[in-house]
A and B are shown apart, each in its own frame.
Chain A
Amino acid sequence: MSMELIKPGINIDFVGKMKYAILLSAILILIGIGSVIYHGGLNPGIDFAGGSIIQVKFTKNITADQIRTAFKSTKLENSTIQQFGVNEFLVRTAESFSDPKILAANVAQPLTAAFSKDYEIRRVEVVGSKVGADFTRKGIIAVVLSWLAILIYVTWRFEFRYAAGGILALVHDTLIVIGAVSIMNMEFTISILAALIFVIGFSINDTIVTLDRIREIVKLNTKQTLGQIINSAINQTLSRTILTSLTVFLTLLALYIFGGAVIRDFAFALLIGTVIGTYSTIYIACTSVLFFEKMRPAKLKRNA
């Protein structure tokens, strides 16, 4: 007897619960948008906004206040200082130091004055506002382009109404992940953008598997309504959908816990994205095919 998380022959009425799913998704998206508005927009990292990040590690116990005192009357006076591990801090400022001498004068000199040799500058990132604007433009293009590319691919492989449902789910996933990043008040960095695009790729994966099954059932059986077909396709692939998400989730959990502070936000966005991607495959991508069908009956007309 093999181990089964999802029993064969399971028949959950996903399509029937479409209303509740739409409601839940709408609430999640609204909370996310609300958070973005509450925080006065996304919290763009230096990749997009320009600025500097300096990561400093101390060999003894230091508080953020001590660092703030050390930076008094330098250009880092108004920077945000955030603990980033044991005796390790991130200093962020909107200033982008294009002249190397200014950076040294504002970071190394005051730190040496206050803590002599008990510190180590582990990372410096400086992004000029010009590059930041470039990244923002490229980032938006990349996300939209990935939606479009997948829309085209799925349309080519299946039908437009399936693809439209898939894209709806992708936009849904993107919005919710952005919302989650905003709620956690994480910085929106290039890594988060990469996570978003990965989530887009991952979420459509699940959708394609289910769409494949819908198509297969359609070929075998033309008696059922489209709603019934979609439901059985989701149920038949449910076990695989859950299992794959589980394995990806496990690897991401390992990354989140053990991968270190540098990559933690990235792992977080991916974790949220995996859960949301799985949910949206089941409840949004496939069920919305029905919705598009009602709007504009497709070539393969079913007796509804």
Chain B
Amino acid sequence: MFKSLKLRGAITVVVCLVALYFLVPTFVDNIPSPWNQYLAKEKIHLGLDLQGGMHLVLEIDTDKALEAMMERSANDLKESLMDNKVRFRNVEKAKGATISLELTDSAGKSTLDKVLKDHFPDMEIASTTPREGGQLVLLKVNDKRAVELKKLTVEHSLETIRNRVDQFGVAEPEIIQEGENRILVQLPGIKDPERAKNLIGKTALLEFKLVDEENSLDEALRGKVPESSVIAYGLREDRSSGQKGQVPYLLKNKTLLTGASLETAKVQISDRFGEPNVSITFNSQGAADFDRITNENVRKRLAIVLDGVVHSAPVIQERISGGQAQITGNFTMEEARDLAIVLRAGALPAPVNILEERTVGPSLGSDSIQQGILATIIGSLLVILFMIVYYRLSGAVADIALIINVFLILATLAALHGTLTLPGIAGMLLTVGVAVDANILIFERIREELRTGKTARLALDTGYNRAFITIIDTHISGIIAAIILMFFGTGPIKGFAVTTIIGLLVSLFTAVFVTRVIFDYVTWNFNIKKLSI
């Protein structure tokens, strides 16, 4: 390919220098200035299995989001139908994301069509069944819009989780969408995984609802829940005994205000008990709404509901104009802080399920690094020693190429911002074993050629040329297997596949190109007649 030895030597040196440029930051912690300005900034990233951390795969329950939307629409639809004087009964959310209603008037259908067209363009009629004195209509979200809504839900969830993690303070988190409705969250170096999971997975839907004081709670608990109300529970902890219990509340269905109207939320310590609570500030629209709501409902109780759990239901003493409120409850400092974070970051539009979790503690991670490095050093030394014993000086040449190979793999990882995992280290070590294969192929071939009486220079030439095509074949088959692994594997296994692919590509350069440069340099300059092989 390149006849000129000088050119080939220069290429080798340049490649090694570039590798050094990317690698120095990984191996030297504090590069003295002015040198630090001239070197790459990034270190090699360690995978979660090496530095400790948490890997989560979350599934966004987009069907639930659609159902929740239909539930809200059912109320709006009811009002619209009344405004348009359509006679109907039993508007309710039915199975799946559908709404069922009964039209009791044959003229109602055309008005319903018009209402849907004007006010609910996302909905369509799924089916109609004739009923005595009318018909049963089933409404659903039209398919195209449903797909869109689900997509938006996932995007919104991704954004919310990102916000929460940012505010929680994790260095270099990775939060990406996987597939249609899955989100991969990687949090390196996390200390308290349970807390992080709570923070990420909490829906954090904050709602303000009036307590229904016109109807009896006891009646409702016996099963007679008024149509416009719902039973919700709050947690209560008895201060003296520490016993936990549930307190039932009868709440009005209608949500007056949600967390969406918040400007910010922060932790405050209450004056009386020194307990933390979360102080929320509404945005301008929210503040105006809150002003109106409190003004209209003085002396009534307003429940603060978070994810369906009533946190408190204080009596509105007077109109509140400042746009401020407190959420109290038996919070620890941590809980209050986390609640403030999720409120600031906003509610998740749909519940999330944790599909997969892998958490590695920092101590196991550092053990793994040590063991991985030890295995790599010992394994490489064994191979290096073997090559020298078996092929002598030629073996030493192969060893130089091998060491360059390992450094180039690491440099490529650093340059591509790749991640080194424990299986990645294993892959690197395996590459060491496989990379010398190219040299063994070449050397065995050279020995064969020497046996036929060829001169050193000619044997070198033939050996390299004949072995080359075989080396290409073996490398490509190895790369094929590794690429398949890369597409199907998860985190750490991907690391194994990536280092193997890099290793194989790099070994084409080191084991074939670099060793040839060394051989040519030595045989041409020192006029070697006999190879040490």
Q: Please list the residues of chain A having a beta carbon within 8 angstroms of any beta carbon in chain B.
A: 2-3, 5, 8, 55, 57, 98-101, 103-104, 108, 120-128, 130-131, 135, 138-139, 141-142, 145-146, 149-150, 153-154, 157, 190-191, 193-194, 197-198, 200-202, 204-205, 208-209, 212, 216, 236-237, 239-240, 243-244, 246-255, 257-260, 262-263, 266-267, 270
Q: Which residues of B contact A270 (CB under 8 A)?
A: 430
Does the CB pair B480–A212 fall under 8 Å?
no
Q: For chain B, residues 324 to 382, give those with C-beta under 8 angstroms from any C-beta of chain A.
A: 353-361, 363-364, 367-368, 371-372, 374-376, 378-380, 382
- A to B CB contacts below 8 Å, 26 in the list: A100-B354, A122-B364, A124-B193, A124-B358, A141-B488, A142-B484, A149-B484, A157-B473, A190-B489, A191-B492, A194-B489, A194-B496, A198-B482, A209-B441, A209-B470, A209-B473, A212-B473, A237-B444, A247-B387, A248-B433, A250-B386, A254-B379, A255-B430, A260-B422, A263-B423, A266-B426
Q: Decide if B168 is an interface residue (CB 8 Å cutoff).
A: no
Does the CB pair A258–B57 fall under 8 Å?
no
Q: Which residues of B contact A98 (CB under 8 A)?
A: 353-355
Which listed residue, A193, A198, A252, touches B500 by the CB 8 Å rule?
A198
- The SS class assigned to the B binding surface is helix
Does the CB pair B477–A201 fall under 8 Å?
yes
Q: Which residues of B contact A124 (CB under 8 A)?
A: 193, 357-359
Q: Which residues of A contact B432 (CB under 8 A)?
A: 247, 251
- 9-residue interface stretch from B71-79, B256-264, B389-397, B410-418: B389-397
Complex-state Cα separation, A128 to B356, whole angstroms: 6
Q: Which residues of A contact B489 (CB under 8 A)?
A: 142, 190, 194
Complex-state Cα separation, A114 to B95, whole angstroms: 47
What residue of chain A has the Cβ atom nearest to residue B490's Cβ? A190
Please count the residue pairs between chain A and chain B whose beta carbons lie under 8 angstroms apart in the complex: 228
Tally of contact residues, B, Cβ under 8 A: 76
Q: Decide if B255 is an interface residue (CB 8 Å cutoff).
A: no
Does the CB pair B484–A146 fall under 8 Å?
yes
Q: Decide if B197 is an interface residue (CB 8 Å cutoff).
A: yes
Complex-state Cα separation, A254 to B372, whole angstroms: 10
User: What 7 A-B pairs are tightest by C-beta distance, nearest first?
Assistant: A201-B481, A254-B379, A260-B371, A248-B433, A251-B379, A142-B488, A251-B433
Does the CB pair A252–B433 fall under 8 Å?
yes
Q: Decide if B440 is an interface residue (CB 8 Å cutoff).
A: yes
What residue of chain B has the Cβ atom nearest to residue A240's Cβ? B444
Q: Which residues of B contact A138 (CB under 8 A)?
A: 488
CB distance from A12 to the nearest CB of B (A): 17
Q: Which residues of A contact B469 (CB under 8 A)?
A: 212
Complex-state Cα separation, A152 to B186, whole angstroms: 37
Q: Decide if B106 is an interface residue (CB 8 Å cutoff).
A: no
Q: Please list the residues of chain B having a beta carbon within 8 angstroms of any beta carbon in chain A.
A: 49, 57, 59, 193-194, 197-198, 201, 353-361, 363-364, 367-368, 371-372, 374-376, 378-380, 382-383, 386-387, 389-392, 422-423, 426, 429-430, 432-434, 436-437, 440-441, 444, 447-448, 451, 466, 469-470, 473-474, 476-478, 480-482, 484-485, 487-490, 492-493, 496-497, 500, 533
What residue of chain B has the Cβ atom nearest to residue A207's Cβ? B477
- The SS class assigned to the A binding surface is helix
Q: Which residues of A contact B496 (CB under 8 A)?
A: 194, 198
Complex-state Cα separation, A20 to B363, whole angstroms: 51
List 7 extra interface pairs beyond A57-B363, A263-B368, CB under 8 A: A8-B447, A103-B194, A239-B444, A244-B441, A247-B433, A250-B382, A259-B372
Complex-state Cα separation, A102 to B169, whole angstroms: 25
Say yes or no: A128-B354 contact (C-beta < 8 A), given A205-B477, A240-B440, A260-B367: yes
CB distance from B181 to the nearest CB of A (A): 12
Does the CB pair B474–A205 fall under 8 Å?
yes
Does the CB pair A153–B480 fall under 8 Å?
yes
Complex-state Cα separation, A256 to B381, whole angstroms: 15
Does the CB pair B383–A150 fall under 8 Å?
no
Say yes or no: A197-B433 contact (C-beta < 8 A), given A128-B354, A240-B441, A260-B367: no
Say yes or no: A190-B493 contact (C-beta < 8 A), given A120-B363, A247-B383, A260-B367: yes
Complex-state Cα separation, A126 to B54, whole angstroms: 11
What residue of chain A has the Cβ atom nearest to residue B480's Cβ? A149
Complex-state Cα separation, A244 to B432, whole angstroms: 11
Complex-state Cα separation, A258 to B149, whole angstroms: 52
